[in-house]
């Protein structure tokens, strides 16, 4: 499991990120939020799924911003593997 810090609206949040052979698990304890996603999702599909899930907790703009940040984080980590 990897833990990355993201700045979001002036607050630092830890994003817990776990990859297995077929899934990605994400958790943000500060939001009491977690999700399990297929590893087969491309960046656009991942972003769209995150926006839909985060929109249940945040405003549309906040969900969009956080989804982009998380998608970038995952994409950058995937390049490093």
Going through 1-81 in order, the beta strands assigned E by DSSP cover 2-8, 11-19, 23-28, 33-38
What is this structure's pTM?
0.88
Q: 20-41, pLDDT tens digit by residue? A: 999 999 999 999 999 999 999 9
35 versus 76: the higher-pLDDT residue is 35
- Of 78, 74, 70, the C-alpha closest to 13 is 70
Residue 80: the pLDDT is 63
What stretch of H or E contains 43?
Answer: helix 43-54
Q: What is the pLDDT of residues 44-64, one digit of tens each?
A: 999 999 999 999 999 999 999
CA nearest to 52, candidates 68, 31, 67, 71 = 67
């Amino acid at each position: 499991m990897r833990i990355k810090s993201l700045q979001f609206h002036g607050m630092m949040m830890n994003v817990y990120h776990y990859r297995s052979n077929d899934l990605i698990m994400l958790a943000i304890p500060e939001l009491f939020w977690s999700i399990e996603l297929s590893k087969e999702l491309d960046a656009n599909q991942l972003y769209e799924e995150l926006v839909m899930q985060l929109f249940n907790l945040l405003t549309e703009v906040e969900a969009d911003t956080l989804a982009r940040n998380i998608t970038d984080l995952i994409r950058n980590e995937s390049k490093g593997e």
